[in-house]
Amino acid sequence: MNRLDGKVAIVTGAGRGIGRAIAEALHAEGATTIATSRASSDPTFGEIHYAQLDVADEADWRRVVTDVLEVHGHIDILVNNAGIIAYEPLHELTIEDWHNVVATNQTGVWLGMREVVPHMITQGGGSIVNISSIWGSAAVGGAHAYHATKGAVRNMSKNAAITYATQKVRVNSLHPGFIETPLTDSQAPAVNEYVVSQTPMGRAGRPHEIAAGVVFLASDEASFVTGSELVIDGGYLAQ
């Protein structure tokens, strides 16, 4: 408890699933937490603050970051979690679906980092955690745009980590395996069963297990950790 006392955090894609678990975990550890999603309002967050944010919208990012700074004075943690998926292989993928996935999964991460990094530099540091995926490091058939963007997030994080290391802005990526969320619940059961069957621990992960990793990377306990990939996948990528 209280590992993040005095820190201010923004979490994207926090309406449900992994993002919501992350927002709740940061709040439980003492951070003033601003949970965001595309929804116009979410009154169920209780003491966690809420802001509407389309991560692919440059003006939206500027508005949210400006508001957070005006109210709280600083931003210490950014968790770029918002993401969507298209399942089509590359020869069936439409240009519209490609642009939608890239806009949310890749451009959204870039915009978030671009907006907060100058403030983190000015205040003397901060921690950014970008949620990638095991599919940013390995592949299965289909879901071409998702694979492309999650791989991009992996390398974007490394680039930012190296670029801002001397300015004490730490940037790491986190790579979940198969996690039980509303997103995976909406997938074909056969797909879910296959991925779980290929996971050495033999089960799906849970959102709070991902959130625990984010808390570590966001905290001062990870003060010498930047440019790393934290894999939480039940052993999938170890094979």
Catalytic residues: 146
Q: Among the residues of the chain, which ranges form H helices?
A: 17-28, 58-72, 95-102, 108-123, 144-164, 182-185, 189-197, 207-218
User: Cβ(9)–Cβ(218) under 8 Å?
Assistant: yes
The count of C-alpha atoms lying within 13 angstroms of the C-alpha of 91, restricted to the half-sphere facing its C-beta, is: 1
Please give the structure tokens belonging to residue 96.
């519209």
- Estimate the share of the chain in helix, then strand, then coil, as percent rounded to the nearest 5: 50, 15, 35
Contacts of 63 (CB under 8 A, 6+ apart): none
